[in-house]
Amino acid sequence: MPTVLVVDDQLLIRAGLVSLLNAAPGLSVAGEACDGEEAVRLAEATTPDVVLMDLRMPGTDGITATRRILRRAADTGDAAPRILVLTTFDLDEYVYNALRAGACGFLLKETPPERLVAAVHTVASGDMLFAPTVTRRLIEAYHPGPTPPGEIAPQWHTVTGRERDVLRLVATGATNTEVARQLFISEATVKTHLNRAMGKLGLSSRAQVVVFAYETALVTPGGPTSLPCPHPDEGGPG
């Protein structure tokens, strides 16, 4: 059963979320935090599957807390929680920076209860929670343009051509099944390439893959959402 850490500085909102999630089938609340600092501490103490993270909080905000939680998991080798951020506005620089930090999706605070519960289940299962079109709009609004070559992760040169193909397709919103179909490889091979590329680049979520791909011009807003299909015999073993 997925466990959820609820983080919000407003007591009434936090209490409402806790009540909702405790009453939802198949979910349980691991704890609740009133700010980012407490969220970091409780994430380490309770190891939740999902963190429902408010962005704007006094002191340590949700973006900083997200970075710290995921960095600690990477440093210790523990399984990282899936971080789902709560926001008032979808086209928001805070949302963009949260996705850069490793959040796997976002929800508007006005989201109906049943959709919020479904969203928690979605991210707990490993999926991200926003449409590529929303991501493109965020990037077009807030990122300063392609990252200069000298500032791209130095491990980029170790990413193989096939791994880049997988990253590019994932960044356009393709599922593993769709990537496998386009590249004439198995879904297991897609997962292997994706996980290897993410490991090399220090990316912890598919959301970060999307942001990275746009910021490095691996994918461009308005560009193609598929690759030229190779002949099956030219696709190689993956």
User: What is the per-residue pLDDT across 141-165, written as a single tens digit (0 to 9) for each?
Assistant: 776 666 665 566 677 889 999 999 9
Per-residue pLDDT, 18: 97
What is the C-alpha separation between 54 and 77, in angstroms, rounded? 25
Take residue 152 and report the two structure tokens written for it.
């791209």
Per-residue pLDDT at 123 exceeds 80? yes
pLDDT confidence of residue 162: 96
DSSP symbols for the chain: --EEEEE-S-HHHHHHHHHHHHHSTT-EEEEEESSHHHHHHHHHHH--SEEEEES--SSS-HHHHHHHHHHHHHHHTPPPPEEEEEES-SS-HHHHHHHHHT--EEEETT--HHHHHHHHHHHHTT--BS-HHHHHHHHHHH--SSPPGGGS-GGGGGS-HHHHHHHHHHHTT--HHHHHHHHT--HHHHHHHHHHHHHHHT--SHHHHHHHHHHTTSS-TTS-SSPPPPPGGGS---
Mean of all residue pLDDT scores within the chain: 85
The average pLDDT across 64-89 equals 90
For 39-73, what is each residue's pLDDT tens digit?
999 999 999 999 999 999 999 999 999 999 999 99
pLDDT of residue 111: 87
Residue bearing tokens 């380490």: 44
Q: Report whether 102 contacts 66 (CB < 8 A).
A: yes
In DSSP terms, 5 is beta-bridged to: 31, 51
pLDDT band at 213 (very low <50, low <70, confident <90, very high): confident
Residues 168-189 pLDDT 10s = 998 887 888 999 999 999 999 9
Residue 60's pLDDT is 94
Residue range 127-136: mean pLDDT, rounded: 65
